[in-house]
Structure 1
Amino acid sequence: MSEIEVSAVLPVFNDRISLEKAIPESLSALEKITDSFELIVAEDGSTDGSREIVEEWEKKNPRVRLFHSDERLGRGRALNRAFEYSKGKILCYYDVDLATDMAYLPQLIDEIRKGAAVSTGSRLMPGSNIKRTTDREIASRGYNFLVRLFLGSRLHDHQCGFKGFNKEILMKILPDISSTHWFWDTEILVRAQKAGYQVAEFPVVWNTGSKTTVKFKDIFSMGTSILKLWWKINVKKA
C-alpha cells in the first residue's frame, strides 16, 4: 500500500444530498493543498443512496474511496476504520455538511506539517464566527466547560467536526479510545493532551448545517461519557 501525504475522511450516515456538494468541493480544496491525497467516504449503514453516489465518484476519480458498512458502526468506529486503512501520513476529517468553512482546510493540514500531533477547528475561541441557535450555543459552552473542569483539557471546543492528525501518533492513541460515537472527538483530544502531544486549536467560521444527526440523547450520553472518562483516567488509570 503506497503512502500518500493527505487522507481526508467524510463520515456519512444518510447524507446523500450533502455528498453531492461535499465530494466535488473537497476534491477542489484538496487539489490546492497537495498533489498527493485521497478522499475517503466512511459511509455508515446509509439507506438513502449515499453509497451509490460515492460508487459513481469512484468510477470517475481514483482519488475517491468508499468505506461502506452494512450495519451502523457509529461515528467513532467508522472513523477508526477509515483512518486505519488510509494511506496518508496526514489524516483529517470534517463534517459532510461542510459546516466549517473549507477555507480553513489548508491551516488544518499545515498545523500537522509544522509538527502538531492533532489540529482542530474551534467555534468558541476569540476570532471564531459561528451561526447557530441560542440553545445550542449554551449547550455547547456548558459541555466544553465541563470537559475542561473534569478532564483538565486546555482547549475551547472539543466537538467541532474539523480535525487533523499525524497518522503515526494517532495510531498510538486509538487503542485507548473507547467511544464509538459522538464522544470520540472529545476523547481523542483529551487523550492526546494527557499523553503530552501538541494539539493546535484555531478559530474558524462555522454555520449550522442543514441537517444535524446529534440528538438530545447524544448530548446526555456525552455528559455521562465525561464522567466515565474521568473515572478511567483518574481512578482506573486507563
Structure 2
Amino acid sequence: MTTDSSLRSGPGTTGRRSSSRDGAAGRDHGRLPGRDHLPARQPVATASAAPVLDVVVPVYNEEKDLHPCVVRLHGHLARTFPYPFRITVADNASTDATPAVAAALAAELPGVRYVRLAEKGRGRALRTVWSASDAPVLAYMDVDLSTDLNALLPLVAPLISGHSDLAIGSRLARSSRVVRGTKREFISRAYNLILRSSLAAGFSDAQCGFKAIRREVAERLLPMVEDSGWFFDTELLVLAERAGLRIHEVPVDWIDDPDSTVHIVRTATEDLKGVWRVGRALAVGALPLDRLARPFGDDPRDRALTGVERGLARQLIGFCAVGVLSTLFYLVLYSLFRLGVGPQVANGGALLVSAVANTAANRRLTFGVRGRSGAVRHQAQGLVVFAIGLALTSGSLAALGAASGSPSHSTELAVLITANLAATVLRFLLLRAWVFPARACPEPEDLR
C-alpha cells in the first residue's frame, strides 16, 4: 500500500475564513472542549487554520461524480460548519480521469487535498488518510452523496463536544427517510440482523457510508482492524462496541444511487467472511479489547465510591444465570453417570465436568475476564471451590444413605439440589473475592 507523500492540497487547509469578530476564539479551533481529562491523548492547541474536521471521500473511477460531489460538500461545510475543515479525496488506484479531476479540485478549492493509493479498498483508503490526519475529528462519506448533508453537523457534534467516540448515520432508524429499491432494503436489513444475532451488535446500520470517529480513538482502533475493503467499518464498529466505547447514531435522509458500482453479491460474501472471522476471534478471546476498555472519557463506573460495591448487581444476575444452567448440566450428567456407577462416583464426575464449564462461563460472563491470561490459574482456583462443593454434596449423600439405607433417585436429586443451593452462596463469595477479585481502577497514566 502506498500513498502520495506530498498529499497535494489546495491553497489553504480551511474551508472557512476567520473574521475579526472571531477574535481569540479562532485560535482555539483546533482544541476540542470537554475531553481535557483524556488519559490517552491530550488535544493540541493549533493555529486557527488547522482543521477540526477531516472528511474523506474514497473514490474509484468516479470521474463523473467526483467534481459535483466535492463542490457541493465544500459549499455546504463553508456555509454551515463553524470550525475549519478539510476534504480529502482518497483515490483507490483509479484508472480513468479521477486523478486529474481530484488534482484540479485540490488546486481550485481551499481545504481540499488529494491522496493517491496504488491499491484498491475503501478500508485501505480510510486507514491511510485517517492514520496520517492531524484533525481531531475524522469522517467519511460516499461520493454519490446519497446521505443528506444536513446530517453532517449532527453526526460530528457529539465527537467535537467529547460526548461520544464514534458516530454513524442510520438509514434504519425509525425517523429516517429512505428511498431505495426492495432488493437493497432487504439486503441491508438482513445483514444487520446477522450482525445482531451473530456478533451481538447494538448499532442499527453498519453499511451506511456516513461515519465519523475521534482521532485518538482511531489511533487505537485502526491497528486492530484487519479488513481493508467494505467490511472495514463494520469491523471497526464491532470492536469499538465490544470495548465499551460510545457510538452515537444519527437518523439520516438517504436516496439510493441507481448507478452505484458496488457489486452486491461479492460484497455480501466478503462481509459474511468478515463476520465469521471477527466472531471467531471474539469467541476465543484473541482480541486485546481490554486495552480499549473505557480509556476515552470519565466513566462513572470507574469512580471509587464509598459503600458501593462495583458491579455487584450485574455479577449476581450473571452468576445466577450461569448457576441455573450449570445446575441443569450437572443434574443431566449425574443422571447419565448414575446409570453405570454408584452415587458418589457419579456425583464426583458430574461436579468435576460442570465445575470446569461453570468457572469458564463465570470468568467471561459474570466477571468480564477476557483473553487467555490467567485462565489456567482461574481453573485451578475454581477446582478448589469445586472441592468445597464436592464435600458438601458428598456429605449430604452420605448422610442420606446412612439415614435411609436405599433412597430413591428422586430423593437423591432433591438432597443434591438442596446441598448445591447451600454451596452456591459460598461459591459466589469465593469467586468474587478470591478467583476473580475486582481489579483496582488504573490511573490515567497507566492507560497511555
What's the TM-score, normalizing by structure 1?
0.95
Match of 2:200 in 1: 152
Give the secondary-structure state (helix, strand or coil) at the position aligned to 2:202: coil
| TM-aligned CA deviation for residue 131 of structure 1 | 1.2
Match of 1:102 in 2: 149
**2:146–2:254 CA contact under 8 A, matched in 1:** yes
| 1:153-232 to 2 correspondences below 5 Å | 153-215=201-263, 216-232=265-281
**1:5–1:34 CA contact under 8 A, matched in 2:** no
Which string of whole-angstrom CA distances, capped at 9 and with x for unpartnered residues, describes residues 142-167 of structure 1?
Answer: 11011011111111111100001111
1:12 aligns with 2:59: yes
**2:151–2:250 CA contact under 8 A, matched in 1:** no
1:74 aligns with 2:158: no
How many angstroms apart in 2 are the aligned matches of 1:229 and 1:95? 25
| TM-aligned CA deviation for residue 199 of structure 1 | 0.1
**2:87–2:111 CA contact under 8 A, matched in 1:** yes
- Which one of the candidate residues 130, 151, 156 is aligned to 2:178? 130
**2:51–2:83 CA contact under 8 A, matched in 1:** no
**1:92–1:165 CA contact under 8 A, matched in 2:** yes
Give the secondary-structure state (helix, strand or coil) at the position aligned to 1:88: coil
Runs of 4+ in 1 over 4 A off after TM superposition: none
Match of 2:282 in 1: 233
How many angstroms apart in 2 are the aligned matches of 1:217 and 1:57? 32
Which string of whole-angstrom CA distances, capped at 9 and with x for unpartnered residues, describes residues 143-201 of structure 1?
Answer: 10110111111111111000011111111100100011000111111111111110001
**1:97–1:211 CA contact under 8 A, matched in 2:** no
Match of 1:36 in 2: 84
How many angstroms apart in 2 are the aligned matches of 1:144 and 1:72? 28
**2:155–2:249 CA contact under 8 A, matched in 1:** no
Give the secondary-structure state (helix, strand or coil) at the position aligned to 1:193: helix
- Which one of the candidate residues 64, 69, 75 is aligned to 2:112? 64
| TM-aligned CA deviation for residue 4 of structure 1 | 2.3
Amino acid at match of 1:162: F
Which string of whole-angstrom CA distances, capped at 9 and with x for unpartnered residues, describes residues 185-224 of structure 1?
Answer: 1111111111111000121111112432321111111112
**1:6–1:36 CA contact under 8 A, matched in 2:** yes
1:25 aligns with 2:72: yes
How many angstroms apart in 2 are the aligned matches of 1:112 and 1:60? 29
**1:100–1:204 CA contact under 8 A, matched in 2:** yes
How many angstroms apart in 1 are the aligned matches of 2:159 and 2:216? 11
Amino acid at match of 1:232: A
**1:95–1:161 CA contact under 8 A, matched in 2:** yes
How many angstroms apart in 2 are the aligned matches of 1:97 and 1:73? 18
Over the aligned positions, Cα root-mean-square deviation in angstroms equals 1.5
**1:100–1:206 CA contact under 8 A, matched in 2:** yes
How many angstroms apart in 1 are the aligned matches of 2:82 and 2:259? 30
Match of 1:140 in 2: 188
Considering fraction of residues, name the structure with more strand. Answer: 1
Identify the range of structure 1 (71-80 vs 121-130) with the bigger mean alpha-carbon deviation.
71-80
Give the secondary-structure state (helix, strand or coil) at the position aligned to 2:52: strand
| TM-aligned CA deviation for residue 43 of structure 1 | 0.5
Considering fraction of residues, name the structure with more helix. Answer: 2
Unaligned runs of 5+ in 2: 1-12, 14-45, 288-448
Amino acid at match of 1:19: L
Give the secondary-structure state (helix, strand or coil) at the position aligned to 1:16: coil
Equivalent pairs counted in the alignment come to: 237
| TM-aligned CA deviation for residue 21 of structure 1 | 1.2
Amino acid at match of 2:277: K
**1:97–1:210 CA contact under 8 A, matched in 2:** no
How many angstroms apart in 2 are the aligned matches of 1:74 and 1:123? 23
**1:29–1:105 CA contact under 8 A, matched in 2:** no
Amino acid at match of 1:212: S
Amino acid at match of 1:224: K
How many angstroms apart in 2 are the aligned matches of 1:44 and 1:176? 22
Amino acid at match of 1:130: V
| TM-aligned CA deviation for residue 236 of structure 1 | 4.6
Say which one has the larger Rg: 2
How many angstroms apart in 2 are the aligned matches of 1:209 and 1:83? 26
How many angstroms apart in 1 are the aligned matches of 2:257 and 2:217? 30
| TM-aligned CA deviation for residue 35 of structure 1 | 3.8
